[in-house]
Amino acid sequence: MKKTVYITGADRGLGLALTKVFLQSGFIVFAGRYMKDWPELDELKTENGGKLHLITLDVTSQKSVDKAAAYIEEQAGHLDILINNAGILQDRSGDLFGEFHYEDMRMLMEVNTFGPLRVSQSVIPLLVKGNNKILANISSEAGSLADSWRQKEYGYCMSKTALNMQLTIMQNQLKEFGVKVLAFHPGYVKSYIFGEFNEDASIDAIESAAGIAGQILRAPSLDEHMFIDYQGNKMNW
């Protein structure tokens, strides 16, 4: 049975790097793409042929999510690894003494929290049939209650804290099916999460992706701490 992985938000940045790493590791990759005008996935497709499936995916749309899941089932019949990577950070809101843009915060929750929930539910039957049975999610240290230090960025931080709670509930249910749920802090990655490429970040996307893939492929036990960074260090809830 061919090894399969489904990666959301694969257009660029960390998602694209994860796609490259898993292709190099011999996986059939189902890459969720949102930005049709971004060329790098098409270039990868040319290089990798049938090993890379490009799937139009909007994680805020149930119809889009369900269509993607149906395609994976048709093509592979199972799924070994899911990586919920799609996420945004844009928010015009400031601190308590400034202006809040609740529409921005709602979109952060829609993409960063409800998006992974939609995608995970859509492919759970396929993950249960897989070998690795890993449900991985790109979270953030911003979601940690114990290590909270910010005085703004309410929307983003709350979206990641809610995601972390979501994942603990998932693990409670999926443990009996042998599915391991993981929440990754990817590090401060050079990516487009702010909209423009962030040169000030400290970690190249490919370094973070390689670390995340390594942690996934070492097959962590069901009882291991779920919230870790890309190097495997334990993160505080």
Enzyme catalytic residues: 156
- Phi first, then psi, for residue 224 (nearest 5°) are -70, 155
CA–CA gap between residue 151 and residue 202 (Å, rounded): 22
Of 129, 117, 104, which Cα lies nearest the Cα of 62?
117
- Pairs from 202-207 (Cβ < 8 Å, separation ≥ 24): 203/230, 205/13, 205/14, 205/16, 205/17, 206/17, 206/20, 206/21
Q: Residue 73 is inside which H or E element, if any?
A: helix 62-75
- Which backbone phi and psi does 81 adopt, to 5 degrees? -140, 135
H-type alpha helices, 76-222: 102-109, 115-129, 154-174, 205-217
Q: Residue 133: left if φ>0, alpha if ψ -120 to 50, beta else—which one? A: left
Structure tokens at 65: 């999510």
Tell me how far apart the alpha carbons of residues 19 and 107 are, in angstroms, rounded to a whole number: 25
The DSSP secondary structure of 13-28, one letter per residue, reads HHHHHHHHHHHHTT-E
